[in-house]
Chains A and B, each alone.
Chain A
Amino acid sequence: MSGDSVLQVRDLDVHLGRGTARQHVIRGATFRLRPGEAVGLIGETGSGKSTIARAILGLVRPSGGSVQVDGHELVRRSAGAWRRLRREGAVQYVFQDPLRSLDPDHRVGDSVGEPLRIRGVAGPEVRERVAEELRRVNLDPALADRFPSELSGGQRQRIAIARALITKPRVLILDEPVSALDSANRVAVLRLLESLRASDVTLLFISHDLGSVAGVTDRTLVLHQGRIVEDGPTSRVVNAPAHPYTRLLIGSAPTLRSGAIDADERALLRAELAASEG
């Protein structure tokens, strides 16, 4: 794999809130995504996973650090510059809950085609591309005339993915794309993500669930309290976690590895984790 980065995040700091409620949510996060790579970002609820994604996308203003896509700096851009960049569609995002991320009053085809319409692409071409993307995510193009409420959760999430793919992004960030789905739909979406790896899109798969991430990623980043505490090949992170927090995370899933941890070991890891945090 080449040393080039499609996305490079360096010393990213994000503060949220004002005054006394101001919190240091992301603390010096540094990582890079290489072209075509699939990377998992895991951590518990509140660890800052979504905030990292929102900072990359410009929905949250970082207080420090740098985010580069194909060498272009994204931090401290003007609103107009952001709009132009977003219309190019290089980085796309898939929300956790497809029911909320698709406008309930818009037909599926209108939602999927919206990024193209925003760019000013003509109607017939938009319809053609929508049908193409729906087929790509294994859905019947006839669903374009339906409303999101008429579809199943898995179909909705595939539609959200189709909307993100229609701009042919270089990087696709998926924020807990399967956590709102039942197991059958979860498998369907994970299979779809797996098939995306064959294309040259780079995936950043955010999840609290290592089980979902492990199957579709090459590399895994572990986020704990706003810091990236582990970054390595997924198989290594799963089989030989270096950081106590990762060991706790993996040990908490009894079927994840044969060596599930017992209560004593868990207490030991907690103490180790507390010591490492000073």
Chain B
Amino acid sequence: MTATASAPPVSARGASPLATIVRLRSARIAGVILLGVLVLATLGPTLAPYDPLQNTSDILAAPSAAHWLGTDYLGRDVLSRLLAGSPVSVLGAVQVTVIALVVGALPGILSVYLGRVFEWLTLRVVDTLIALPFLVFAVAMTALLGNGITQAMLAVGLLVSPIFYRVARAAALEAVGAQYAEAAQLAGASTWWIVRRHVIAKVLPPIGVALANTMGAGLVVVASLTFLGIGVQPPAPTWGGVLASDLGYLGYRPYAPLFPTVLIMLTVWAFNLLADAIRDASGASGRALLHRARGGLGRTGTAVAPSVPSPPTPSERDAEGAVCVPSESAASEAPVSVASASDPSDTASERGTR
């Protein structure tokens, strides 16, 4: 049974984006994993059974009842270090994403509205950011601003922001130039109305996808930087830092790098899964999902509503292949019946070009 078929049918009107997204099995799996990560990020240090900085003589111990994941080269409990390192690792990714979102998405949307000068300037800044070498820039920023996780994340967030700028700008450009936005304008809608009713709904899903992807990528970046000792220096615990110290003692504990690696990979995987789910639940695919759910027929659903699309009326069926003049009075004045294949403008315009 598919996830969509097992989900309860939704009412015709009650279909919030959230309701649509939880219908996807991938979103539910991602949600469970990310809930676990959230618990680690908020309660990790208090859950740690030992002091993550406490050295003991029991070095490089194998997993046991006392130390579930063993101890590292200074005799520190690995589980405690992973738990205590969770906030820094996850919050680092959040910082990257929030900075990238604010620095990227907002100017991306505004570039469509604030005129050519702003558009030109922001586009050039984005081009420049894309051209900067990633790690070198992060190292230089921490050298300039001090070796802290926030400084490092500021650098990374700036470098990632072009993704948000482009995604937001592309979605906004499409929605602003769309005929439905023009139709609203012709009905007297203000710019704010058009943005609120038409543009935001088009911009948010791609930004949501980029957000989830960036969280995953940000986590890898934080892990990489802390692995290199940039942003957070030993002995402060981080997922990347634990991995780095474990890699030095592969001869003693060859399995040890698996613990931080699995944690990092699982979290990144969940974020990517969430990104896929957001994409599937938004736009045309989201409507198709809703469509199937409403029919209550799962993936093979065909009969959605008896009236949609309505069968052609007998008169419409009669008209197949030719355009009849609907007005009898007009027809008597101008006896016009044009076969649908003959289009005067085609030939006329063809001539006009000669």
Contacts and interface: CB of A to CB of B under 8 A. Distances in A.
Nearest to B308: A150
Contacts of A270: 351, 354
B326 A215 contact: yes
Q: How large is the interface on A (under 10, 10 to 19, 20 to 34, 35 or more residues)?
A: 35 or more
A238 B201 contact: no
Contacts of B343: 208-209, 253
Contacts of A143: 307-308
B284 interface: yes
Contacts of B193: 118
Nearest to A166: B187
Given A149-B287, A217-B330, A44 B316 contact: no
A210 B344 contact: yes
A255 B339 contact: yes
A187 B187 contact: no
A51 interface: no
Interface in A92-140: 92-93, 95, 97, 100-106, 111, 114-115, 118-119, 140
Contacts, number: 205
Contacts of B326: 187, 190-191, 193-194, 215-216
A214 B330 contact: yes
B291 A86 contact: no
A185 B283 CA distance: 26
Contact of B201 (A88, A105, A150, A191): A105
B58 interface: no
B327 A216 contact: yes
A23 interface: no
Contact of A102 (B180, B186, B310): B180
B327 A215 contact: yes
Interface string B118-146: 00000000000000000000000000000
B188 A45 contact: no
**Residue from A83, A145, A215, A253 with most neighbouring chain B CB atoms (10 Å):** A215
Contacts of A88: 188
Contact of A45 (B183, B186, B189, B345): B345
B251 interface: no
Summarize A's interface: helix, strand, loop or mixed: helix
Interface stretch (A28-36, A66-74, A244-252): A244-252
A234 B180 contact: no
B348 A215 contact: no
A87 interface: yes
A268 interface: no
A184 B316 contact: yes
A215 B308 contact: no
B284 to A, nearest CB: 7
B327 A183 contact: no
B305 interface: yes
Contact of B344 (A100, A216, A233, A249): A249
A211 B184 contact: no
Given A118-B193, A183-B322, A248-B348, A149 B336 contact: no
B336 A238 contact: yes
Nearest to B17: A105
B340 interface: yes
Interface of B: 12-13, 178-180, 182-190, 193, 197-198, 201-202, 283-284, 287, 291, 304-305, 307-310, 312-313, 315-317, 319-327, 330-331, 333-340, 342-349, 351-352, 354
19 contacts: A45-B345, A57-B186, A86-B188, A95-B179, A104-B283, A105-B287, A111-B180, A147-B287, A183-B340, A186-B323, A197-B327, A209-B343, A211-B336, A211-B344, A214-B330, A215-B330, A245-B348, A252-B351, A255-B342
Given A87-B187, A114-B197, 11 more contacts: A83-B188, A86-B188, A88-B188, A93-B183, A104-B283, A194-B326, A208-B344, A215-B325, A234-B330, A254-B342, A257-B335
Sort A-B residue pairs by CB-CB distance and give the 7 closest, nearest first.
A211-B338, A215-B325, A87-B188, A208-B345, A235-B333, A86-B188, A115-B187
